[in-house]
Structure 1
Amino acid sequence: MTTDTPARLLQLLSLLQTPREWPGGELAERLGVSRRTVRRDIDRLRELGYPVQATKGADGGYRLVAGKAMPPLVLDDEEAVAIAVGLRAGAGHAVEGVEEASVRALAKLEQVLPARLRHRVSTLQAATTLLTSGDGASIAPETLTVMASTVAGRERLRFAYRDKDGSASRRLTEPHRLVSTGRRWYLVAYDLDRDDWRTFRVDRVSDPFATGVRFAPRELPDGGAAEYLRRSIHRRQDTYAFTVRFTEPAETVAARVPEWIGVPEPDGEDACVLRGTSNAPMESLATRLAMVGCEFTVREPGELVDCVRELGARLMRAGGTATP
């Protein structure tokens, strides 16, 4: 029996947050108290602002409904660990569709987790390996959470950085935004040593350190962070247009290709055409197209056609089949 009223209220709230209706008798049995005590605890939760709805009947039932000003969410140990592990895995591998909000949530959650739960999260994370498609580099979740905290707190960030050519440097920045492209994470920040805006690939960052020094936000040129990153990437890399025809309906292909490649358009009843631009290496795009798992024909550019042919010949040789 739970005699500590605050602890019992938290346990009751945790049960009510499950999307179902709880009979009063079952709640009483779970908490080890009388039904009268359950009713009093329900009234206390309502006084605290939790919208608990009751239904009439022989046993009566209670459920938590959405409110306009919902008080803080309460998680038990297992729920907190599950959420933290899921967010760390998704953020660390830049899974398509994981936005900056997920990283901010991870930073907030890990900040308030007790030491015993942080140890459980780290242990489970160390024992787990995710199978990824290889489109993006793996990132330490701690790197993202440190960055997210400095973005939210407008705090200067220092880190080591490795450029594309392998040269190493130390950077002191005023972080503006974290941006996910689906394959990679980027930091848009003002580089104090270079007195200019820069974008940094997060998988090339190491030893991020929040300095504790606050700064006044600067106005970012070229619109928002996502637009600035897009222009920055296009300035640094050559892009090319491509057109590919698949012998499958558009909805089938759309479910198998990431959005960064493009959106297929119907081309007849059982075919579609995918048009887009890319700055990825052509061999990487050819491999990604082959992973769609259906017949396709590259219409342009000619370099991508040659790359697909070379990839096909290599796979045939690997399977012990003579190249035609």
Structure 2
Amino acid sequence: MADTTQRVLSLLNLLQSRPVWTGAELAERLGVTTRSVRRDVERLRELGYPVRAEHGTGGGYQLGAGKALPPLLLDDEEAVAVAVSLRLAAGGTVAGLGEAAVRSLAKLDQVLPARLRSEVKGVIEATVSLDSPVTAVDADVLVALARAIRTPERATFDYTKADGDRRERRVEPYRLVAAGRRWYLMAWDLDRDDWRTFRLDRMAAARGTGWRFKQRDAPDAVEYVRASITQAPYQFVAKVRIAAPAEEVAARVPSTMAVVESDGSGHSVLTAGADNLDYIAYHVVRLGWPITVLDPPELRDAMRVLGERFTAAGG
């Protein structure tokens, strides 16, 4: 049975290495008869691999594309190349990544041998990026949290706050959210007994504890993180009514800067946080649409002062 399994894996490796093989070529490479090749091809088909067989001149066996991607058989060099690429993408040094990179990395990391794991780590440590499109995070942190979310199991990590205070946090992880230039974790904080948002670039030593938990009723992860990063950390939360449809305003305002909601009849409400109201006044005015300040009243004063500055500058 072990010999048969090894032969089937070898057959799969050959089919992945080039487009078409004749039965005789496969038999010679595997050291078996063409009849054995046909039986092994049937075994691959039973496992979900779409192996096509074409008769006649130019025909042979070909691994086709199926509805679902079957497992890939990678040699050492290929596995290292894929792992390095995924870690660079997940860590923020490759543009156009997504949550898919993190999921793929978590799956690959589970089956990567220790000898290859150390090789991947060496390549990553020797690699720098001239221009990173996002704030870099430790790929090991992403992998650990992705696993804990999938299980699900409680996790711990060391977290450094904006003021430099570093403490261990214990959470029930719920979702990873990529927003703008950063990664965030939405989790139930076990010590504060409430939902919290954590920046992954401030984390270290993330790990699952092995303690499973029953998932709680949770708010929408995207909306919760959006509100957390655009409003919660700031001294002021401003609301402004804009005479423009929400979709047009949202197209010009980064989702990490403000929340834009429809207000009916071609209007929208923008909600944003800041420690300096002059900052909000400037960015809202530069959008170019008529606005009405809803809250706080101090924002009206900031708008008036900004207008006086523009008038004085125009001479």
The verdict on a shared fold, with TM-score over 0.5 as the criterion, is yes
What is the count of residue pairs matched by the alignment?
A: 253
Matching residue of 2:37: 38
- The answer as to whether partners of 1:156 and 1:173 remain within 8 angstroms in 2 is yes
Question: Could you report, residue by residue, the CA deviation over 1:8-39 in whole angstroms, capped at 9, with x for unpaired residues?
Answer: 22121123235723333443454455545433
Question: Could you report, residue by residue, the CA deviation over 1:72-127 in whole angstroms, capped at 9, with x for unpaired residues?
Answer: 33323222222111111111116443222321221121111122222222222222
Matching residue of 2:131: 132
CA distance in 2 between counterparts of 1:233 and 1:71 reads 39
Inter-CA distance 230–70: structure 2 relative to 1 (3 Å threshold): closer
Matching residue of 2:91: 92
Inter-CA distance 178–76: structure 2 relative to 1 (3 Å threshold): same
Alpha-carbon shift at residue 167 of structure 1 (Å): 1.9
CA distance in 1 between counterparts of 2:60 and 2:166 reads 63
From 150, 153, 173, the equivalent of 1:152 is 150
Alpha-carbon shift at residue 239 of structure 1 (Å): 9.0
Larger Rg: 2
Alignment gaps of 5+ in structure 1: 241-260, 264-274, 281-298, 303-324
- The answer as to whether partners of 1:24 and 1:60 remain within 8 angstroms in 2 is no
Matching residue of 1:101: 100
Instruction: Say which SS state the counterpart of residue 253 (structure 2) adopts.
Output: strand
Identical amino acids, percent of aligned pairs: 53
Question: Could you report, residue by residue, the CA deviation over 1:288-324 in whole angstroms, capped at 9, with x for unpaired residues?
Answer: xxxxxxxxxxx9279xxxxxxxxxxxxxxxxxxxxxx
Q: How does 1:165-204 map to 2 (within 5 A)?
A: 165-204=163-202
CA distance in 2 between counterparts of 1:189 and 1:131 reads 33
Matching residue of 2:224: 228
- The answer as to whether partners of 1:94 and 1:182 remain within 8 angstroms in 2 is no
Matching residue of 2:253: 276
Q: CA RMSD in A?
A: 3.4
CA distance in 2 between counterparts of 1:220 and 1:150 reads 16
- The answer as to whether partners of 1:94 and 1:185 remain within 8 angstroms in 2 is no
Question: Could you report, residue by residue, the CA deviation over 1:34-59 in whole angstroms, capped at 9, with x for unpaired residues?
Answer: 54543343233234443211111136
Alpha-carbon shift at residue 184 of structure 1 (Å): 0.9
Output the amino acid matched with 2:183: W
Instruction: Say which SS state the counterpart of residue 22 (structure 1) adopts.
Output: coil
Alignment gaps of 5+ in structure 2: 239-248, 259-284, 289-315
TM-score normalised by length of structure 2: 0.69
From 139, 150, 159, the equivalent of 1:161 is 159
Does residue 15 of structure 1 match 2:3?
A: no
